[in-house]
Amino acid sequence: MDARGLAPWLADRLPAGAVIIDPVQLATYACDGLAHYKVVPAVVVLPETAEQVATVVRACAEHGVPFVARGAGTGLSGGALPHADGVLVVLSRMRDVVEVDRANQRAVVQPGVVNLQLSALTRPDGYYFAPDPSSQQVCSVGGNVAENSGGAHCLKYGFTTGHVTGLQLVTPAGELVELGGKAPDLPGYDLLGAVVGSEGTLGVATRVTVRLTRTPEAVETLLAGFPDTDSAGRAVSAVISAGVVPAAIEMMDALAIEAAEAAVHCGYPAGAGAVLIVELDGPRPEVAHQFEQVKGMCEDAGAFEIRVAADDTERALIWKGRKSAFAAVGRISPDYIVQDGVIPRTRLAEALTRIEALAGERGVRVANVFHAGDGNLHPLVLFDDAVPGEAERAEEASGAIIDLCIELGGSITGEHGVGSDKAKYMPRMFGEDDLDTMQLVRCAFDPAGIANPGKIFPTPRLCGEVPRRRTASEGAHPLVEAGLADQF
Amino acid sequence: MTTVTDALPRLLEASGGHAREGGVADAVDGLVPPYVVAPTGPRATEAVAAVLRTAHADGLAVVVRGAGTKLGWGAPPRRLDVVLETGGLDELVEHAAGDLVVVTGAGRRLEDLQRDLAGAGQCLAVDPARQGTVGGLVASADAGPARLGRGPVRDLVIGATVVRADGVVARSGGKVVKNVAGYDLGKLLTGSFGTLGVLTRVALRLHPVAEAGAWVTVPVASARHASALVQGVLHAQVVADAAELDRPGEGRAQLAVRLDGIAPGVAARAEQTAALLGTGAQVSDTAPAWWGRDLDAAAHGVTLKASYEPASLAVLLEAVDDASAAVGLPLDVRGSAAVGTLTVGLGGSGHGSDPAQVAAVLAALRGAADRFGGAVVVRDAPAAVRAAVDVWGPVRGLDLMRRVKERLDPTGVLAPGRFVGGI
Ligand SMILES: Cc1cc2nc3c(=O)[nH]c(=O)nc-3n(C[C@H](O)[C@H](O)[C@H](O)COP(=O)(O)OP(=O)(O)OC[C@H]3O[C@@H](n4cnc5c(N)ncnc54)[C@H](O)[C@@H]3O)c2cc1C
Ligand SMILES: Cc1cc2nc3c(=O)[nH]c(=O)nc-3n(C[C@H](O)[C@H](O)[C@H](O)COP(=O)(O)OP(=O)(O)OC[C@H]3O[C@@H](n4cnc5c(N)ncnc54)[C@H](O)[C@@H]3O)c2cc1C
């Protein structure tokens, strides 16, 4: 039985319109935010409940049909890239906020809930969901969980993994399991910690219990213009080594500023070779004192202009340029590759110099926008696909940047994930034994290898003996029970 | 297959000469291991791998020992052939102060590590200084008061080298704080009590040592009062760095809130916190005597760890009172009240070691677990008690955990029986 063959059976069990096989409609799901990889799935399903997800996955498991979970499809590593012979499980209809539990500082949500909506909903109560990827207006909490997403403020508040305390998971065998909860330290292995960031390869999250963060008493934001990235980098080092933990420190270089300016007219300091956005939050007296310190450090490092946001409107304006930077690059270049790599923050100056050199050698330009506080670079490699050979050279430069990150002791991805795009780089960062060990964990969850196959690992491990036992409570397979098994 | 009795030559060879016969002093839960291996020197990780390959091939059961301070936690192992001591894996590999990262051998003592870091004004956020090892800390996932502000141990681990039960050496994570490449095996190993792999090297995220700190203490009148105080702290914007409750079975209960930061900020926040906590609140620049100290296993004989939804603190404390009345034993309670973890000590004067009494307390508390949303596990207890009661209690997701263990340690080399569900 292939995926297409399952469609009628699934259509009988899912709400009207929840199973898509129309080629035109299917094509709209062919890619995520990394649009140059495209695969049209065999079937798309739009379940509304965890039980429906489990029904779909169980059917896939029984027939060895691969499935891929998809949230909002904003991923930048081809993580939600469909499987041509598989089922794409789209979670966009599971958008209920099940519970906001202020007393416990938790919220329980369905996976399709949009990141920013959760914060918008809880802010009047003095709370918000801290992980804030730049895509937060559209990306889903389920996608955040699967990618262990970060954002500008994860320098201080940590990544998604620190903000998820419980998950309901449909395992690749179709079982519904609860991991963690609202309380900490439930006995057993930290399976939750393994599942967050596993990019949909260990199952489908159908309910997420998240930690809500108290809104800070005070927030101060500054924008500092520097002559070059070296001087801006010195300011970053000074701040960190003084023991200040800002909520965010973001850097943009001249090319990125130019793009943002063209797109959103954010009015960044004219002639800056680099800008820093530094935000401090917390109790008022601490913020006030440290903000003065930070301003001084920026001046000492060579900032020629420092603007302080007077209110939330001005703060939003400062952030606007930064948050729209990826898309803005389209204004100054017909095509671009968004790269995501990490270096130890102390190697920043060296990394930027070498990135410029290796791009120059290949005749392409690189705009840099990044989370400077934790060394997470987002070099945007600019090219023109109309110029023969340029796309290849851009791809080469982008790959060379990743090699550089590894060489400097960093990582091939800080937040966008491995997905389809970077599976080939995994062996450069990890040895065979390392990857094999990770895949043993995968085999524990997904012995048949049907959950988002082809992602993360360049070569799938065969799990050998499948130690799957049908438990009594599961009963007979639904297909058999329904008297449909012999139909196939 | 060699038999257990003639494994010494092979263990000696595997460990580069660092193997010996075990003695009573090496006993784990009353089981005296026939052998102890303690790899050391620059090739210690390879030696650990070779020892595990031997154990895997010969069907030997291995218990990892760091400093041995928490070896009594968990269920007693079913079998024990080799104690693998990690003290020789104590190399400080790299302290990248500018990146707030340290890479260290898993056998390094925490107090040594904190001393290494102090010079740069940094620390591993698991106050106070401990004699235990880094590996033991990670494998037991046990954090102190700082967890409220700095997060649990799992959030501090950014990379790990682990030797699998079959002797294969694997790494995950790295030495940068931000990194989502591949599965986070460090999280899986955190709290695994030596049953999934042997940590040989760990990369940890560090924090700057705060310039100033203050404690605000307040007497606590009742379970409901404790809960109201903790709710007040949680929902305020003072950003408490820790909030610990000490509630002896007999005597006065106290809540203490710690504030870390820069001097003028701490002073202002301490005043705010004192106002919040109300009558009897006092600001001090020294910690209460009990701060950050485990309920002493020696004095109590038996300690339990309860986790709960923070808003259900009163439910838990009332359940403790009920249990105390039912068995006629004073129960001491201490821990990170705002995080949702407390330790319960049975019989402060050392009388709480009767298996039947422990079982009764456990049953009473677990009976209320649905109402406080958490779990109760046995921590310190004499082997006789741990043999008589269910140490771990009910576990969510046990089936998946078993499958993880089966994949990573199919023949049950690593501390068989120690973990949940007999894993
Ligand atoms: C303009 C732009 C800016 C961005 N900025 C950031 C940023 O600052 N930080 C950052 O971290 N990322 C960023 N991203 C990347 C992306 O938005 C995040 O990775 C996001 O979390 C993906 O969410 P999604 O709902 O779109 O997931 P999708 O793209 O739909 O899926 C992503 C992965 O998650 C899996 N998945 C989705 N839902 C589930 C589920 N319920 N259960 C199991 N697996 C699931 C998929 O299989 C896939 O592997 C950005 C993307 C864009 C386009
Ligand atoms: C408030 C508080 C205060 C504390 N104070 C102290 C203190 O003063 N002194 C103190 O020692 N501890 C203290 N602890 C406990 C401490 O956090 C750790 O539990 C301790 O570091 C354990 O280290 P160990 O080397 O003694 O571990 P061990 O007792 O040797 O081992 C503990 C467990 O971890 C496993 N294990 C050990 N090393 C490894 C490894 N490398 N790989 C895999 N598994 C391994 C063991 O098999 C065992 O199951 C305190 C805890 C709290 C909450």
Which long-range contacts does A130-138 make (Cβ < 8 Å, 24+ apart)?
A130/A154, A130/A157, A130/A158, A130/A163, A130/A211, A130/A213, A131/A157, A131/A159, A131/A160, A131/A163, A133/A415, A134/A322, A134/A323, A134/A325, A134/A326, A135/A33, A135/A72, A135/A74, A138/A72, A138/A74, A138/A114
Q: What is the CA radius of gyration of chain A?
A: 23
When the candidates are 3.30.70.2740, 3.40.50.10860, 3.40.50.970, 2.160.20.70, the CATH number that belongs to B297-398 is 3.30.70.2740
Q: Give the per-residue pLDDT at A163.
A: 98
Residue A104 has pLDDT above 50, yes or no: yes
Residue B271 has pLDDT above 50, yes or no: yes
On whether the CB atoms of residues A253 and A368 are closer than 8 A, the answer is: yes
State the pairing for strand pair B62-65/B82-85. parallel
- For residue A101, list chain B residues with Cβ-Cβ distance below 8 A: 311
Q: What's the CA gap between B422 and B22, in Å, rounded?
A: 25
Amino acid letter, A301: A
- Asked whether residue A417 is assigned to any structural domain, the reply reads no
In the structure, which protein residues have their CB atom closer than 6 angstroms to any atom of ligand 2? B 63-71, 74, 86, 106, 110, 130-133, 135-137, 139-140, 142, 144, 193-194, 198-199, 292, 294, 415
Residue A486 has pLDDT above 50, yes or no: no
Number of C-beta neighbours around residue B309 at 10 A: 23
Give the A window 382-411 contacts with B, CB below 8 Å: 409-411
A32-36, A466-470, B164-168 — which one is most confidently predicted on average? B164-168
Q: What is the pLDDT of residues A331-383, one digit of tens each?
A: 999 999 999 999 999 999 999 999 999 999 999 999 999 999 999 999 999 99
Q: What is the pLDDT of residues B77-86, one digit of tens each?
A: 999 999 999 9
**What number of CA atoms fall less than 13 Å from residue A228's CA on the CB side?**
6
Ligand 2 centre distance from Cα of residue B70 (Å): 5
Q: Give the per-residue pLDDT at B5.
A: 65
ipTM of model over 0.95: yes
- Indicate which atom in ligand 1 lies nearest the CA of residue A136: 17
The three-point CA angle B260-B262-B265 to 5° equals 85
Select from A135, A155, A163, A176 the residue to mutate for testing ligand 1; criterion: most ligand atoms less than 8 Å from CB.
A135
| Residue among A103, A147, A444 whose CB faces B180 most closely | A147
**Stronger pLDDT, A17 or A487, i.e. the higher one:** A17
Give the A window 241-260 contacts with B, CB below 8 Å: 241, 243, 245
Alpha-carbon gap: A157 to the closest alpha carbon of chain B (Å): 9
Q: Give the per-residue pLDDT at B346.
A: 92
CATH of the domain at A237: 3.40.462.10
Domain holding A472, by residue range, is 423-482
CA distances from A268 to A217, A412, A464, B28 (A): 27, 30, 58, 65
Provide the mean pLDDT of chain A.
94
- Give the three-state DSSP class for A236: helix
Residues A331 and A468 in one domain: no
CA-nearest residue to A465 within chain B is B407
Tokens read off for B325: 């009345």
| Residue among A147, A185, A430 whose CB faces B171 most closely | A430
Q: What's the CA gap between B314 and B310, in Å, rounded?
A: 9
Residues A228 and A170 in one domain: no
Q: Give the per-residue pLDDT at B129.
A: 64
Q: What's the CA gap between B333 and B303, in Å, rounded?
A: 9
State the average pLDDT over residues A67-72: 98
- Asked whether residue A431 is assigned to any structural domain, the reply reads yes
Q: Give the per-residue pLDDT at B128.
A: 67
Q: Give the per-residue pLDDT at A112.
A: 98
In chain B, what's the furthest Cα-to-Cα distance? 70
Torsion of CA A175, A176, A179, A180, to 10 degrees: -160
* Percentage of the residues of chain A whose pLDDT score is greater than 90: 91
State the pairing for strand pair A87-90/A43-45. parallel
**Ligand 1 pocket check for A133: Cβ under 6 Å:** yes
Q: What's the CA gap between B402 and B411, in Å, rounded?
A: 12
CA-nearest residue to B391 within chain A is A187
Q: What's the CA gap between A386 and A373, in Å, rounded?
A: 36
State the average pLDDT over residues B12-32: 96
Residue A487 has pLDDT above 50, yes or no: no
Tokens read off for B229: 């105080």
Confidence bin at B6 (pLDDT 50/70/90): confident
Q: What is the pLDDT of residues A415-458, one digit of tens each?
A: 999 999 999 999 999 999 999 999 999 999 999 999 999 999 99
State the average pLDDT over residues A33-62: 97
**Ligand 1 pocket check for A379: Cβ under 6 Å:** no
Residue A168 has pLDDT above 70, yes or no: yes
Residue B222 has pLDDT above 90, yes or no: yes
The answer to whether domain B92-208 has CATH 2.40.50.140 is no
Residue B130 has pLDDT above 90, yes or no: no
A264 φ, ψ (degrees, to nearest 5): -125, 5
Select from B133, B153, B386 the residue to mutate for testing ligand 2; criterion: most ligand atoms less than 8 Å from CB.
B133
- Indicate which atom in ligand 1 lies nearest the CA of residue A199: 49
- Determine whether the interchain pair A414/B372 forms a contact, defined as Cβ–Cβ distance below 8 Å: no
Domains B212-284 and B297-398 share a fold: yes
Residues A342 and A308 in one domain: yes
Q: What's the CA gap between B307 and B373, in Å, rounded?
A: 8
Question: Which helix (DSSP H) or strand (DSSP E) does residue B133 occupy?
Answer: none
Provide the mean pLDDT of chain B.
95
Confidence bin at B131 (pLDDT 50/70/90): confident
Alpha-carbon gap: A153 to the closest alpha carbon of chain B (Å): 12
Q: What's the CA gap between B344 and B330, in Å, rounded?
A: 10
Tokens read off for A295: 């301003």
Q: What is the pLDDT of residues B30-76, one digit of tens each?
A: 999 999 999 999 999 999 999 999 999 999 999 999 999 999 999 99
On whether the CB atoms of residues B351 and B338 are closer than 8 A, the answer is: no
- Asked whether residue A15 is assigned to any structural domain, the reply reads yes
Amino acid letter, B264: P
Residues A399 and A264 in one domain: yes
Give the A window 292-351 contacts with B, CB below 8 Å: 342-346
Residue A466 has pLDDT above 80, yes or no: no
Q: What's the CA gap between B332 and B248, in Å, rounded?
A: 4
Mark which of A170, A186, A215 sits at the end of a domain.
A215
Please state which CATH number belongs to domain B7-87: 3.30.43.10
Q: Give the per-residue pLDDT at B296.
A: 78
pTM: 0.95
Please state the domain extents for chain B: 7-87, 92-208, 212-284, 297-398
For residue A90, give the ligand nearest its CA.
1
Residue B348 has pLDDT above 70, yes or no: no
Q: Give the per-residue pLDDT at A167.
A: 98
- Asked whether residue A413 is assigned to any structural domain, the reply reads no
Quick check: A286 contacting B, CB < 8 Å?
yes
Residues A231 and A209 in one domain: no
Q: Give the per-residue pLDDT at B1.
A: 46
| Residue among B339, B392, B397 whose CB faces A178 most closely | B397
Residues A431 and A474 in one domain: yes
**What is the SS3 assignment for A345-400?**
HHHHHHHHHHHHHHHHHCCCEEEEEEEHHHCEEEEEEEECCCCCCHHHHHHHHHHH
- For residue B396, list chain A residues with Cβ-Cβ distance below 8 A: 177-181, 186, 188
Mark which of A160, A184, A215 sits at the end of a domain.
A215
CA distances from B55 to A116, A242, A262, B166 (A): 52, 49, 65, 8
Give the A window 194-223 contacts with B, CB below 8 Å: 194, 196-198, 214-217
Residue A481 has pLDDT above 50, yes or no: no
Torsion of CA B194, B199, B202, B206, to 10 degrees: 10
On whether the CB atoms of residues B89 and B48 are closer than 8 A, the answer is: yes
Select from A94, A139, A322 the residue to mutate for testing ligand 1; criterion: most ligand atoms less than 8 Å from CB.
A139
On whether the CB atoms of residues B157 and B192 are closer than 8 A, the answer is: no
Q: What is the pLDDT of residues A106-153, one digit of tens each?
A: 999 999 999 999 999 999 999 999 999 999 999 999 999 999 999 999
Going by C-alpha positions, the residue among A372, A375, A221, A369 that lies closest to residue A295 is A221
Q: What's the CA gap between A32 and A323, in Å, rounded?
A: 19
CA distances from A60 to A50, A89, A294, B143, B304 (A): 15, 11, 55, 42, 43
Residues A130 and A141 in one domain: yes
Amino acid letter, A483: G
Residue B195 has pLDDT above 50, yes or no: yes
Domain total in chain A: 3
Tokens read off for A396: 């080469």
Q: What is the pLDDT of residues B170-186, one digit of tens each?
A: 999 999 999 999 999 99
Ligand 2 centre distance from Cα of residue B137 (Å): 4
Mark which of A408, A443, A466 sits at the end of a domain.
A408
Going by C-alpha positions, the residue among B160, B156, B113 that lies closest to residue B132 is B113
Residue A101 has pLDDT above 60, yes or no: yes
A224 φ, ψ (degrees, to nearest 5): -120, 130
B382 φ, ψ (degrees, to nearest 5): -60, 150
Q: Give the per-residue pLDDT at A241.
A: 87
> In the CATH scheme, what architecture does the domain B212-284 have?
2-Layer Sandwich (3.30)
Alpha-carbon gap: B98 to the closest alpha carbon of chain A (Å): 6
Q: Give the per-residue pLDDT at A467.
A: 46
CA distances from B396 to A72, A184, B76 (A): 30, 13, 21
Ligand 1 centre distance from Cα of residue A31 (Å): 12
**Ligand 1 pocket check for A52: Cβ under 6 Å:** no
Residues A149 and A238 in one domain: no
**What number of CA atoms fall less than 13 Å from residue A284's CA on the CB side?**
4
Confidence bin at B383 (pLDDT 50/70/90): confident
Going by C-alpha positions, the residue among A374, A350, A473, A19 that lies closest to residue B176 is A374
Look at ligand 2, atom 6, and give the residue with the nearest C-alpha.
Answer: B130
- Give the three-state DSSP class for B218: strand
| Residue among A105, A214, A440 whose CB faces B407 most closely | A440
| Residue among B180, B196, B231 whose CB faces A417 most closely | B180
